[in-house]
């Protein structure tokens, strides 16, 4: 039976490439900006690119904030991608303090222009980076990363990074120079990828397949 995936269209995002990636993995896709569609969805994706404030404004203008929170509390699978992942958090400091969905407790903060080793970094972080398991996070074999082997690289484009309040919500990290970056977060049925799985080739499709199997 083909799985129906609802993708939230709130005026900001890489909708076409995300849709194509899920369809390539065998899913049917419903694009929507309607609260009622979100509330009855069986599997939900929140994509996004751009500024945190613009993304949250797009959700508020369409009345999607409370439905997204209610959906996350329902126990059904939710995946945030790039900006969509960041908006899952409590707040962001991008262009001043901004409130997020507060589905995962924590903050979105800028990537520092130098790593812990003092060497300068060219922000934004753009390119392919390797996913690394975290010490405190859940096991990959029971998550959306269950189909990955060692040396899995994904495509990142971002200037801000997530700091979960609970380290157990970090499923995978990556490194930008010597700086540790939250690459995948997880809290129960809610997942977020800082990178773009839809632009990460075969590895990205394996992650999408892992999400579809939840």
Instruction: Quote the CA–CA distance of 56 and 61 in Å, as a whole number.
Output: 9
pLDDT higher than threshold 80 for residue 209: yes
pLDDT at position 14 is 74
Nearest residue to 30 via CA among 13, 17, 45 = 45
Let me know: does 206 contact 26? Beta carbons within 8 Å: no
Instruction: Quote the CA–CA distance of 167 and 189 in Å, as a whole number.
Output: 17
Known catalytic residues?
Answer: 82, 196, 198
Instruction: Quote the CA–CA distance of 87 and 177 in Å, as a whole number.
Output: 25
pLDDT at position 149 is 86
Over residues 143-148, mean pLDDT:
96
Instruction: Quote the CA–CA distance of 142 and 209 in Å, as a whole number.
Output: 13
Beta strands at 170-176 and 132-133: parallel, antiparallel or unpaired: antiparallel
Which tens digits make up the pLDDT trace of 37-62?
A: 999 999 999 999 999 999 999 999 99
pLDDT at position 2 is 81
Using pLDDT thresholds of 50, 70 and 90, give the confidence band for residue 151: confident
Instruction: Quote the CA–CA distance of 66 and 38 in Å, as a whole number.
Output: 10
Sequence-distant (≥ 6) Cβ neighbours of residue 154 within 8 angstroms: 128, 129, 131, 174, 183, 193, 195, 196, 197, 200, 203, 204, 207
pLDDT at position 1 is 63
Instruction: Quote the CA–CA distance of 25 and 34 in Å, as a whole number.
Output: 25
Instruction: Enumerate domains of the chain plus CATH numbers.
Output: 4-212 (3.40.50.880)
């Amino acid at each position: 039976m083909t799985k129906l995936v609802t993708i939230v269209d709130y005026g900001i995002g890489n909708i076409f490439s995300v849709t194509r990636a899920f369809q390539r993995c065998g899913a049917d896709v419903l694009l929507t900006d309607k609260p009622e569609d979100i509330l009855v969805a069986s599997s939900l994706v929140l994509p996004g690119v751009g500024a945190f404030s613009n993304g949250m404004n797009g959700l508020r203008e369409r009345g999607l904030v409370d439905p997204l929170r209610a959906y996350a509390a329902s126990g059904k699978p939710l995946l945030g991608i790039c900006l969509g992942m960041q908006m899952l958090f409590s707040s962001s400091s991008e262009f001043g303090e901004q409130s997020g969905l507060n589905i995962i407790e924590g903050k979105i903060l800028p990537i520092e222009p130098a790593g812990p080793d003092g060497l300068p970094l060219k922000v934004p972080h753009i390119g392919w980076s390797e996913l690394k398991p975290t010490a405190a996070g859940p096991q990959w074999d029971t998550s959306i990363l269950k189909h990955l082997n060692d040396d899995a690289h994904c495509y990142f484009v971002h200037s801000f990074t997530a700091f979960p309040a609970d380290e157990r919500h970090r499923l995978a990290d990556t490194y930008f120079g010597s700086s540790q970056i939250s690459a995948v977060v997880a809290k129960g049925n809610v997942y977020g990828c800082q990178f773009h799985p839809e632009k990460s080739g075969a590895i990205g499709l394996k992650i999408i397949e892992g999400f579809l199997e939840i």
